[in-house]
Structure 1
């Protein structure tokens, strides 16, 4: 509540002194929202609980026994899912709000313990034999169903990372760069395929209105993965690097135009920055062919000039998106 506006109205004689005093009293006694603080503490509690159980099990593995550990994990998982099934509202392809604050965290804990249960079962007892794909496919299926059935974006993100793991890619933001061997052709092609699948799911979610609010998560993962795979292709495949650039330009144009229509500066930013990186790779490859001191100077001028141009472009695009929203 803007008290200065009411003070201005009081000076203009549009409201009396008593009304202004009431507004100031209401503003002074306004309740402070602890929504995000409580949510942060609950998420932290789930992580600490799952991490603490892991440490406890690790330090007492010899005295507890593997069967007891699996039983404990299974009971926690079953209890969480049982609670969520009883509390969940009716299913809808539209966005469904959680019935209470505890629901989201119980579901998250249930999914985490389920993934732990399957992984522990395979690691300790090789329950799936040499079919290692089943150890990631079963959590993938369970998490995907849970994400839609309970309408939970956090579980959807877990399902996407399991899909990537099943296809052989680490898909968390840090591991995209550190845990994947993008010098491998198979990883690059797999990344392109995974990114295309996720972008297609985002489009289907929007067009068919099937959990439309899931589209951002699909598109976010898909955009980063397919762009990183294309840039890796430009760096690894010397003979066809320009074809990779053209493919990335086509994908980037699609994402840019879609983001502009939806007034999403975030995806416009990604398309511009990844596109700038890809174009810079082409420029520097051409400069390397020159192999003289002039190429070095041109490279420095390009870096300075292009960086300024990209910043000005992003500022201009941001203004256009803001004006289009009005």
Structure 2
């Protein structure tokens, strides 16, 4: 509400002082949007419900029985998908809004229950035996189909995560905390190729105009996978001799090329988030190269140079982000 405009109308005698007082009182009682807060609570509710059911099953499996648990999960999953098929809007290659506020959460719950059902089936009865890839491939197909058919970004994220797990790109939080995580070159290459494939899919979603709003999710996963793979490969080379192994420089060059592409995409889509992530990954990679080269000096001067580098680079990173943010805002207004 433009109070200045109403104030000018009051000065011109077009609005009475009493009406102006009412306008000021109404402007001070602005509505506060709870949209994202409610969406967050609902998503957390779905995750807590699925997690709570899992804990309940584990603690009471001896009294409930596997068959009863599987039947309950299957019925709940079928009910969720039945509701979604009945309530969904016609399929479009563009963005399709949810028919009601609860549709997205019921679909997400159904997908989580389906993953739980397949996992439980394999864990309790070993239906797929040692073909563990099949146990992740079946949910992979269902999740991608559900993401596109029902137009759900959250399910698409689950599908991409499941795709990474099917290809072997997964890291357990427990192994990371315990320090037992092992990253080999096969895992790095797979992550790099998967990230590149996701960026290609992002390009074609916009070029072919097939669910272009899915591009952000593909680009987000692709960026993190590729840049993280480069950084992991650089640090992995650090376990070797500093004097002999220079393969980290090759990975640093690859990281520069990927960062340049992400930079161009960030400016194209006016996204400061991608610029920030690209800058942070690039800063880690550059700092690793600088520190490693300074180690070769093997002198106190290298230590002082490292301190000066971190001070100057931190300032340079802040200046780069501020200027980039201004450029994005300026370009988005044109």
TM-score range, shorter-chain basis? over 0.9
Q: What CA distance in whole angstroms lies between the structure 1 residues aligned with 2:280 and 2:154?
A: 27
Quote the offset at 1:191 in angstroms. Answer: 1.1
Q: What CA distance in whole angstroms lies between the structure 2 residues aligned with 1:171 and 1:8?
A: 63
Mapped pair 1:185 → 2:185:
yes
Compared with structure 1, are the counterparts of its residues 29 and 318 closer, same or farther at alpha carbon in structure 2 (3 Å cutoff)?
closer
Compared with structure 1, are the counterparts of its residues 316 and 177 closer, same or farther at alpha carbon in structure 2 (3 Å cutoff)?
farther
Mapped pair 1:266 → 2:273:
yes
Query: What aligned pairs does 1:209-248 form with structure 2 within 5 A after superposition?
Result: 209-237=209-237, 238-248=245-255
Mapped pair 1:307 → 2:310:
no
Which region of structure 1 is more displaced relative to structure 2, 154-163 or 234-243?
Answer: 234-243
TM-score where L is the length of structure 2 = 0.90
Contact preservation (8 Å) 1:144, 1:159: yes
How many corresponding residue pairs?
Answer: 325
Contact preservation (8 Å) 2:136, 2:165: yes
**Corresponding residue for 1:96?**
96
Q: What CA distance in whole angstroms lies between the structure 2 residues aligned with 1:34 and 1:307?
A: 37
Contact preservation (8 Å) 2:81, 2:110: yes
Alignment partner of 1:248: what SS? helix
Q: Show structure 1 runs of 5+ residues with no match.
A: none
Quote the offset at 1:26 in angstroms. Answer: 4.2
| CA shift digits 1:289-313 (9 cap, x unpaired) | 1111111111111110111111111
Q: What CA distance in whole angstroms lies between the structure 2 residues aligned with 1:34 and 1:268?
A: 29
| CA shift digits 1:5-52 (9 cap, x unpaired) | 533553465644354245345446665544334323322322232222
Contact preservation (8 Å) 1:181, 1:187: no
Which region of structure 1 is more displaced relative to structure 2, 1-10 or 158-167?
Answer: 1-10
**Corresponding residue for 1:114?**
114
Query: What aligned pairs does 1:83-232 form with structure 2 within 5 A after superposition?
Result: 83-170=83-170, 181=181, 183-232=183-232
**Corresponding residue for 1:297?**
304
Compared with structure 1, are the counterparts of its residues 30 and 81 closer, same or farther at alpha carbon in structure 2 (3 Å cutoff)?
same
Contact preservation (8 Å) 2:175, 2:181: no
| CA shift digits 1:149-199 (9 cap, x unpaired) | 000011011111101111112279x78976994641111111101111211
Contact preservation (8 Å) 2:171, 2:181: no
Contact preservation (8 Å) 1:57, 1:69: yes
Q: What CA distance in whole angstroms lies between the structure 1 residues aligned with 2:301 and 2:25?
A: 70
Cα RMSD after superposing both structures:
2.3
| CA shift digits 1:270-306 (9 cap, x unpaired) | 2222112211211112111111111111111111011
Alignment partner of 1:218: what SS? helix
**Corresponding residue for 1:280?**
287
| CA shift digits 1:187-216 (9 cap, x unpaired) | 111110111121111111121111111111
Mapped pair 1:48 → 2:55:
no
Q: What CA distance in whole angstroms lies between the structure 1 residues aligned with 2:47 and 2:236?
A: 38
TM-score where L is the length of structure 1 = 0.92
Contact preservation (8 Å) 1:182, 1:188: no
| CA shift digits 1:55-92 (9 cap, x unpaired) | 22122111111001000000000000000000000001
Alignment partner of 1:101: what SS? coil
Q: What CA distance in whole angstroms lies between the structure 1 residues aligned with 2:176 and 2:156?
A: 22
